[in-house]
Structure 1
Amino acid sequence: MQIGELARLAGTSIKAVRYYEGLGLVAPQRLSNGYRDYSDHELRVVQEIRTLAEQGIAPARAAPFVECLATGHRHSDECPASLTAYRDSIAELDRLIASLTFRRLLLAERLEQGANRTFAKEPTVIDYSTTLPEDLPVPEDDGAAAHLPGLAMPALVLESSDGGQVDLARLGAGRSIIYLYPLTGVPGTDLPQGWDAIPGARGCSTEACDFRDHFAQLQAAGVERVHGFSSQEPVYQREVANRLRLPFTMLSDIGFQLAEALDLPTFAAPDHPRLYSRLTLVVSDGIIEHVFYPIFPPNTHAQQVLAWLEAQPAG
């Protein structure tokens, strides 16, 4: 087929096809009259390049996927080099998101400083990282966590906010506290609509601050390690750990692997089809010793855990 027909079938422009040729991704045959002759393989390659571009992988980085198709694979991401390209693109996005989040925080701080110098200071906004709105609905115990005590933690390796990884089946000797929560908001960004009306949803930052403020007492009560835990991306976990100055790491379970392994309760909210319900696991030598569920109010939950530890000394 000629280049015009190829472009039409692939849903792109002739100029784009020429660009792909210049990158060495498309290599048509030449007819005796000198015209380029494109096969169904070139059509498949152009379609794949367009799909990758829509997903954030530029044509200049599409070579591993094109080479995978050329070796006879049905899908362009069935080769090790293609998977590496995916990982590199994700890592680059993580760096970009982290950089943009940091720049946003700096701009918001400068905005606040400039506004305070230029205009009369507005009434103080309530800081919900330390307080909670009044009249929040109290969650009820639906029995969704009753099966957990006595279960072994599954072998799941998750990324932590310090850039490392944590294997839930190898937390180490002694007691570990893992508190699961739905999500933390970023300053200046609205939470899901109707968030305060969902029982047990509000209060993730207050809960983290309470664990921060009682971290030393938890250690004195025999806790070896504390982890916050949600389905948010690692970049969000890093942001909240830095912003709240948490002395412990936050774990990210984007794919809800722990929920699937232990049949944990989850819920949905606007723009968030699935979130972890708030609960806390006391893990002793790899076995779930105790579960706090439901949790209310979250801003004093660490003190509730501390009281239980003092009443149930390890060993």
Structure 2
Amino acid sequence: MKIGELAGRAGVTVKAVRYYESLGLVTPRRLANGYRDYTEDDAPLVHEIRVLSGLGIPVERTRPFLACLAAGQQHADDCPESLAGYREAVDELTERIEALTARRAILMHHLRQAAYRNSSIPVPDDEAHGKHGKHAKHGKHRERGEHPMSDLYRLPADLPVPEDDGAADHLPGLKMPRIELSSTTGETVGLHALGTGRTVVYVYPLTGRPDADLSHGWDSIPGARGCTAEACDFRDHHHELLAAGARGVFGLSSQDTGYQREVVERLRLPFAMLSDPRLSTAAVLGLPTFAFGGATLFKRLTLVIRDGAIEHVFYPVFPPDEHAQQVLAWMRDNPTA
């Protein structure tokens, strides 16, 4: 048969067949006109080379397998020499895996050192990493689609925009319930006892960490992505919010206080976070939630609380990295007496 027919039957290119021939793995006879003439026995040889190459065995080291077929064995790995070839390939892969694993550990160490450099929270070791609270499993959630170790501080341009489903329409005018939540300051904050004047409480699903991914599908949930960017926006406009009449600003999520404290330290937030791991606020006030990864999380919204009652609600919130500025604009347009 001609070289093109052999290549087609074996599933390789003509160039590959010529390369195998140059190594002496396949030896066609030459016709009087100079054309190569391959036999039926050459097709399984070329096919075997292709299969073994796909497994990572170099073409040059397929000779024992081809010799096994040439000796009349039904399978190319029926011979002891073929088994030795397998073992050699496995040993090389093991060495490469060990080397790559060691390199990965060093890179992860540098990543964590850099990620927590500006935080007083100890850098988590390999055993404790990812076990920072109820939603620690979300440490693997990707905050940027398919891109691992994404930039939590910036948002991709193609995020889906959340729609107003009316889940917060009932909130304006409600009195704040008697709920006390743990604060990252170490104190307990009563939502019913925030005092006179306005207090801004922005509610968010969860924050990721720069040394961990957020899992696949997070970005596709409208309104889910952007908790870190939102916190930074409230940080950058905190003084302006106070000047516009806010008595204080709080972030609120279902993550535990230890997890939130790391966020406050790392982002240098000038305000405290409140932890509501049982979603008590959602149960009493009827705040909207959503399910993800086996957990129930708050949907993103912001409450402007005045004199113990909800004066205004921002829902849905988008884009989160500009939300503090939206709240600031509303407060300036609606000054207190």
Q: TM-score, normalized by length of structure 2?
A: 0.56
**Residue aligning to 2:211:** 188
- Structure 2 contact 121–265 (Cα < 8 Å) conserved: no
Gaps of 5+ in 2: 1-118, 127-148
Please, which of 228, 240, 251 is the counterpart of residue 217 of structure 1?
Answer: 240
Give the 3 Å change call, closer, same or farther, for CA 105–280 of structure 1 in structure 2.
farther
Larger Cα Rg: Structure 1 or Structure 2?
A: 2
Match of 2:194 in 1: 171
Which structure 2 residues correspond to residues 259-298 of structure 1 after superposition, within 5 A?
A: 259-270=282-293, 272-298=294-320
Contact 1:192 1:269 (8 Å CA) reproduced = no
Identity %: 59
The size of the alignment, in residue pairs, is 197
Q: Which residue of 2 aligns with 1:304?
A: 326
Q: C-alpha distance in 2, partners of 1:102/1:251?
A: 21
Tell me the distance in 2 between the aligned counterparts of 1:313 and 1:282: 12
Question: Is 1:160 matched with 2:180?
Answer: no
Aligned-residue offset at 1:186? 2.0
Aligned match of 1:102: 122
Runs of 4+ in 1 over 3 A off after TM superposition: none
Q: Deviations over 1:125-153 (max 9, x none)?
A: 76322x10120000000000000000000
Aligned to 1:62: none
Shift of 1:247: 0.2
The alpha carbon displacement at 1:105 in A equals 8.1
Report how far residue 173 of structure 1 moved.
1.2
- CA offsets 1:1-60 (integer angstroms, 9 cap, x no match): xxxxxxxxxxxxxxxxxxxxxxxxxxxxxxxxxxxxxxxxxxxxxxxxxxxxxxxxxxxx
Separation in structure 2 between the aligned mates of residue 161 and residue 143 of structure 1, nearest angstrom: 31
- Within the candidate set 274, 279, 288, 1:251 is matched to 274
Residues 1:231 and 2:251 are matched in the alignment:
no
CA distance in 2 between counterparts of 1:217 and 1:250 reads: 19
Residues 150-206 of structure 1 deviation map (CA, whole Å, 9 limit, x = unaligned): 000001010001111100000111100000000001221221321000000000000
Root-mean-square deviation (CA, aligned residues, Å) is: 1.9
Q: Does 1:127 align with 2:151?
A: yes
Return closer, same or farther for 1:101/1:152 CA change in 2, 3 Å cut-off: same
CA–CA separation in structure 2 for the residues paired with 1:174 and 1:192: 40
Which residue of structure 1 aligns with residue 41 of structure 2? none
Q: CA deviation at 1:208?
A: 0.2
**CA-to-aligned-CA distance 1:88-146 (integer Å, 9 cap, x gap):** xxxxxxxxxxx99622289xxxxxxxxxxxxxxxxxx76322x1012000000000000
Mark the runs of 5 or more structure 1 residues left unpaired by the alignment. 1-98, 107-124
SS at match of 1:243: helix
Q: How does 1:8-87 map to 2 (within 5 A)?
A: none
Distance 2:256 2:214 in 1: 16
